[in-house]
Amino acid sequence: MTRNCDAEQGTARQSPREDFLVAESPGYLLHKAAMLLDEDAESALTGAVSMRTRYFLVLASLASGPELSQQDLSRLLNLDPTTVVSVIDEMERNGHVERKRNPADRRRYKLHLTDAGREALAEANKVASEVESAFFAPLTHHELGMFRDMLSKVMAGRWPASVCS
């Protein structure tokens, strides 16, 4: 569970001190918000469906349409390639994904979600959606849409080629 100034200080203060200048940086605020959201998601997913966030993100990425390789997932999710391999190994043991040799490049695998993987993703997605709803609850529906639009604008042209049309 995350802590805030209110909880720690027992006051109505909702912002960091004025001399805490890093809190003025949009980059820092985005980074900090992402870390807190990840902590909340990790806790909820682990507790509800015994799944780590990175496992969920790999499942969700594989369900999104394009055939992604392990290297693609590494770039897309900013995970070390060896971490991706261990997550895929775990997913394969759990019956959530199948690896198939890529006929165009025998050194690479094509990854496919199984029916069990799609079921696990559906359960985890409910949990992740609840976490996001709670995290972004201070924003109105309109503000959340604007925030998503702004992030999309910042991310334009920064996606790995494997997920672009």
Model pLDDT, residue 71: 87
Angle between helix 81-93 and helix 70-77 axes, rounded to 10 deg? 120
Please give the chain's pLDDT, 165 residues, in tens.
445 555 555 545 478 888 889 999 999 999 999 999 999 999 999 999 999 999 999 999 999 876 788 888 999 999 999 999 999 999 999 999 998 888 888 777 888 899 999 999 999 999 999 999 999 999 999 999 999 999 999 999 999 888 887
Instruction: Please give the pLDDT value at position 1.
Output: 47
Start-to-end CA span in the chain (Å): 39
Token look-up 């802590």 returns 3
Query: For residues 64 and 118, what is the distance between their CA atoms, to the nearest angstrom?
Result: 11
Instruction: Quote the pTM value.
Output: 0.85
